[in-house]
Amino acid sequence: MLKIKPTRQLLNERGLAKNGKAQKFVDSECIRYMDKYTPFQTGFLKRSVILGTVIGTGIIRYVATYSRAVYYSNLGRGIEGLANGGLRGAKWFERMKAVWGKTIMNGVRKIIGAKRR
Ranges of each domain in the chain: 19-112
List pLDDT tens digits, range 22-60.
999 999 999 999 999 999 999 999 999 999 999 999 999
Q: Is-contact 81 88, C-beta < 8 A?
A: yes
Task: Note the pLDDT of residue 16.
Answer: 86
Local structure of 106: helix, strand or coil: helix
- Beta bridge pairs of residue 81: 88
Task: Note the pLDDT of residue 15.
Answer: 85
Local structure of 84: helix, strand or coil: helix
Task: Note the pLDDT of residue 117.
Answer: 64
Q: Is the pLDDT at 114 greater than 80, yes or no? A: yes
Q: Is the pLDDT at 115 greater than 80, yes or no? A: no
